[in-house]
């Protein structure tokens, strides 16, 4: 079952996406957890989290973005410009950060220069940076405009009933993932951090019904599985987008096991559920905008610190790796404050800045991890 998840996690055009396309289904890409997947699912389409894996060059990304910027959106643009995202029927770009906001304009420009780069449906989805009554109302209207745009572009109808059904389906996923988190952080650790990350990543590009089916079987199996802990140091990984299984493998080859995380490809995206009563669009607006665990949301540092602190303590971690993509101002600056405050509470931390994508800095990364392991030995 884990291997099935790993297969989905390790490639862009995985067998599930291929089968979906061959059956005539539409695939809609999005780069950020602030885009409500339930709307795409309610339209009968496959929500697909955009990733930059498999890039071997940034010739296109550097042309439109320049060199001194986060490499995640550059990798996404590189893949789009080279035709790797040709299977997308649409894409939604949001202002997860300023670099991600620029992906909208850079992708549009690249679409003028490279035939086939821009999907036929390309939508900008604005997300406020604060949680207030007026910002929730604004965000709810953004969702309703998103619905209208999909309905017009694809000649479909998205009903409140279909949205409510999608909400229940995605809530079931999040409940299962929270159960998986509880097992990972317990005294008996039945799954490695690398395998757990593969399970999480698979959900970003699989039909949700199939994903829930496999995920439920994995969770049931792990409830009685033997521990893979073996006395290794327990670590938590925090920070910006990481969808690289090799990074977690490198950590665990150094004598550790990752038992918890706070990343946007990880627990930050499923820790809370959507209210499944009343107006489903309003419920989605409140649930998604309350993602205060992401540093793009202004004024919630104390809440984010508390989330990491409590997760680290409940998982009995021996240390925290605070990683961020190079030039990520949001996570990079906040990781420095996390390090100060967590160290003051006796939780050992290591800050690491690295490039997004394949581990081109394996030697440096391994040396930093090994030094951290010696410190907490």
Token pair recorded at residue 41: 């699912």
pLDDT for the residue numbered 359 = 53
Spell out the residues 6+ positions from residue 74 whose beta carbon is closer than 8 angstroms to its own: 52, 58, 61, 62, 65
* Tokens 């989905």, located at residue: 8
> What is the pLDDT of the chain when averaged over all its residues?
94
Closest to 243 in 3D by CA, of 184, 201, 192 = 201
Instruction: Tell me the CA end-to-end span of the chain in Å, nearest whole number.
Output: 34
Task: Dump the DSSP string for 94-116.
Answer: E-SSHHHHHHHHHHHHHHHHSTT
Mean pLDDT of 32-54: 96
C-alpha pair distances (Å), 158 with each of 37, 48, 84: 13, 18, 29
Q: What is the DSSP letter of 349?
A: E
pLDDT at 220 over 80: yes
Mean pLDDT of 72-83: 95
pLDDT at 1 over 90: no
C-beta separation of 49 from 24 below 8 A: no
- Integer Cα distance of 45 and 150 in angstroms: 10
pLDDT tens for 323-367 read 999 999 999 999 999 999 999 999 999 999 988 876 567 888 899
- For the question of whether the overall pTM of this predicted structure is more than 0.85, the answer is yes
Q: What's the distance, CA 4 to chain centroid?
A: 19
Mean pLDDT of 141-149: 98
Mean pLDDT of 60-70: 91
- Integer Cα distance of 103 and 94 in angstroms: 9
Mean pLDDT of 304-317: 96
Domains of the chain listed by start with CATH number? 14-158 (3.40.50.11890)
pLDDT tens for 286-301 read 999 988 889 999 999 9
State which H helix or E strand residue 235 sits in: strand 233-239
Count of C-beta atoms within a 10 Å radius of residue 275: 15
> To the nearest whole percent, how much of the chain has pLDDT over 70?
99
> To the nearest whole percent, how much of the chain has pLDDT over 90?
88
C-beta separation of 305 from 338 below 8 A: yes
Sorting pLDDT into bands at 50, 70 and 90, what band is 143? very high
């Amino acid at each position: 079952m884990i291997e099935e998840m790993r297969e989905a996690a390790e490639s862009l055009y995985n067998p599930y996406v291929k089968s979906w396309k061959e059956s005539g289904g539409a695939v809609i890409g999005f780069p950020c957890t602030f885009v409500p997947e339930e709307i795409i699912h309610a339209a009968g389409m496959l929500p697909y989290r955009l990733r930059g894996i498999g890039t071997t060059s940034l010739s296109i990304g550097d042309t439109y973005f320049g060199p001194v910027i986060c490499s995640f959106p550059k990798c996404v643009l590189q893949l789009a410009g080279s035709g790797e995202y040709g299977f997308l029927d649409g894409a939604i770009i949001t202002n997860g950060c300023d670099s991600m906001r620029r992906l909208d304009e850079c992708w549009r420009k690249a679409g003028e220069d490279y035939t086939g780069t821009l999907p036929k449906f390309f939508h900008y989805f604005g997300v406020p940076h604060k949680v207030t009554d007026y910002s929730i109302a604004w965000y709810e209207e953004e969702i309703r405009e998103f619905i209208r745009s999909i309905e017009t572009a694809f000649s479909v109808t998205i009903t409140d009933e279909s949205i409510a059904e999608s909400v229940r389906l995605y809530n079931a996923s999040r409940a299962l993932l929270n159960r998986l988190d509880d097992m990972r952080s317990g005294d008996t650790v039945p799954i490695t951090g690398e395998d757990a990350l593969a399970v999480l990543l698979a959900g970003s590009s699989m039909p949700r019904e199939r994903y829930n089916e496999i995920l439920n079987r994995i969770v049931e199996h792990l409830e009685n599985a033997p521990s893979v802990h073996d006395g290794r140091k327990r670590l938590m990984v925090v920070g910006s987008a990481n969808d690289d299984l090799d990074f977690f493998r490198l950590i665990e080859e150094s004598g550790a096991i990752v038992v918890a995380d706070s990343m946007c490809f990880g627990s930050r995206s499923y820790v809370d559920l959507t209210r499944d009563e009343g107006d489903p669009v309003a419920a989605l607006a409140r649930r998604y905008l309350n993602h205060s665990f992401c540093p793009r949301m202004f004024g919630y540092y104390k809440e984010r610190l508390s989330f990491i602190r409590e997760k680290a303590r409940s998982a009995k971690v021996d240390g925290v790796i605070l990683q961020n993509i190079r030039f990520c101002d949001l996570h990079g600056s906040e990781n420095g404050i996390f390090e100060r405050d967590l160290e003051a509470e006796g939780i050992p931390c290591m800050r690491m800045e690295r490039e997004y994508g394949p581990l081109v800095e394996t030697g440096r990364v391994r040396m930093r991890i090994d030094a951290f392991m010696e410190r907490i030995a």
